[in-house]
A and B are shown apart, each in its own frame.
Chain A
Amino acid sequence: MTSLPASTDKKLGLVIDLDTCVGCHACVTACKGWNTQNYGAPLSDIDPYGAAEGTFLNRIHAFQVEPDQGLAQTIHFPKSCLHCDDAPCVTVCPTGASYKRVEDGIVLVNEDACMGCGLCAWACPYGAREIDQAAGVMKKCTLCVDRIYNENLPEEDREPACVRTCPAGARHFGDLADPESAVSRLVATRDGVDLMPEQGTRPVNKYLPPRVKDSLQAPEMEGAEDILAPFLAPVAEEPKGFLKWLDTALEKL
């Protein structure tokens, strides 16, 4: 199993919009809830009411960006498994527990075979794998493989728990092998990117970069008024003149 399939029929994955993610962590707890109850061992928490350290398959980081010019920014940054095409986590696995599904490209861990060596987590550049401290097996995002085909769920709910819950609509799920899919089109129009391309993992999940910010009176926030100035051309400088203008304007109404 540990060898990667030469190709997969589909490339199911997530497209995450960094322009709209507000960093609410809803996808984090929805994921925890679903995966504690489903696929494999429950996601445990050690010393949950003390120092607390638990397994999560999806975590939201937050970065600050200081552009060369302009105001500093904050970007909320969700991260789960990217279901890489060239997944190093799969090839390093000695037991065959880690594998990439031929039909849809989802990277999974077969908990019955995993010996908890942690090597796959070392091989993943993105921190997408965590050994569950209570169960001793490797955990990772399953792309909710037990939801997306689940015939016991209504059709509309056959999407990952994190996508279903995201209030801002920042998470999109679909087939990135199909150039016509909604997710592929989003990637195309919004110039979606791979994380750490230099690692050569060829992630399926894509990130949509934040749009240009602070463009009202950009970039240096000083100097001449910009193209919006005509919208503020004064009708009068003094209250008196203003009231005169008012009279004329009211005439026209």
Chain B
Amino acid sequence: MHPAPSVILFSTLSGAGFGLLVFLGLGLPAPTSWVAFTFFAIAYTFAAGGLLAATFHLQNPKNAWKSYREWRSSWLSREAWAAVAALLVMAFYAAPLVLAGTRVAPLGWLGALLSLATVFTTSMIYAQLKTVPRWNQPATPALFLSASLAGGALLSGNVGAATALIALLGAITLFHWWKGDRRFGEAGSTAETATRLRGKVSLWERPHTGENYLTREMVFVIARKHAVKLRIIAFALMVALPLVLLLALPVKHMVAAIAVLSHLVGVGVQRWLFFAEAEHVVGLYYGAHRANIAA
């Protein structure tokens, strides 16, 4: 799949933002006044900014408001609901904290739940797609949730939780990659099932010699050797470096900032790979994915 910068930015930032909201909602920490304002400002910038970035991906954003209609069947619609609900509830939770220093804990818990739900719905948009076998696995929601929570823990300064969650994220990421590399084969779609022709099927001519929406959007192919390199970078920045920083060094603001930055950039790279490595079955009509079927 084409790694659209707006979508990568969205999912990275909003993930971390909602993760931060989860921790804030749980009262870990439960700051007040200006400190609270700063925390919530960061959370809202990340979460809402991410959502805003996502709308850049829309080609007809004037109809974006209609996306609330189909919550019964559409994960994207549910995400829209969940996000608004989470942000609203958290606003009601934040306001007393900032203005009065009062913490209405049940609102926080609800907000945390909704924030988690938002991240979950986001992940389900991808995980539901049978057309992209790499995404279509239970580890996908786990990946999004752990990334969100790890980011949230880091941002909220929960060093212990952050350490554990980053380690968990690392494990899930490794599993997602390992499993993802097998998913296309498991899903069973091949050039032969795509065409139902008997014999060894390969593409002779694309329908159009130039690119089209599908080839750019869905038939993005990334070279194997780049992917390996990027996986190492992603893992190093997202997991290894923050862990080293958190465990080996005394946690100072500077160190924390580097850890957060490294982690977020790492998640960004991981997200880029999440898209770039994802093979859409439609690629079979364009002669792509031979290697993945073999793997």
Contact = CB atoms under 8 A, between A and B. Distances in A.
Contact of B196 (A97, A114, A193): A193
A77 to B, nearest CB: 6
Contact of A196 (B59, B64, B128, B194): B194
Interface in B197-214: 197-208, 210-214
Given A92-B76, A198-B189, A207 B205 contact: no
A66 to B, nearest CB: 4
Interface residues of B, number: 60
B205 to A, nearest CB: 4
Interface in B264-295: 280-282, 285-286
Contact of A113 (B66, B208, B210): B66
A198 to B, nearest CB: 5
Residue from A95, A97, A197, A209 whose CB has the most chain B CB atoms within 10 Å:
A95
Given A93-B74, A116-B60, A119-B76, A66 B200 contact: yes
B102 interface: no
Contact of B80 (A91, A94, A113, A198): A94
Contact of A131 (B1, B59, B75, B191): B59
A62 B202 CA distance: 9
A125 B282 contact: yes
Contacts of B204: 62-64, 74
Interface string A158-187: 000000000000000000000000000000
A2 B66 CA distance: 12
Contacts of B67: 94-95, 115, 117
Interface string A57-91: 00111111111100001110101000000001001
Contacts of A136: 58-60
A200 interface: yes
Given A95-B70, A115-B61, A64 B202 contact: yes
B40 to A, nearest CB: 27
Interface string B64-79: 1011111011111100
A131 to B, nearest CB: 5
The residue among B57, B62, B73 with the most chain A CB atoms within 10 A of its own CB is: B73
Given A56-B208, A198-B187, 11 more contacts: A55-B213, A61-B203, A92-B76, A94-B69, A115-B61, A122-B129, A127-B285, A130-B213, A131-B59, A198-B188, A199-B130
Interface of A: 1-3, 18, 28, 51-56, 59-68, 73-75, 77, 79, 88, 91-97, 112-119, 121-127, 130-131, 133, 135-137, 193-200, 207, 209-210
Interface of B: 1, 57-64, 66-70, 72-77, 80, 125, 128-132, 187-189, 191, 193-208, 210-214, 216-218, 280-282, 285-286
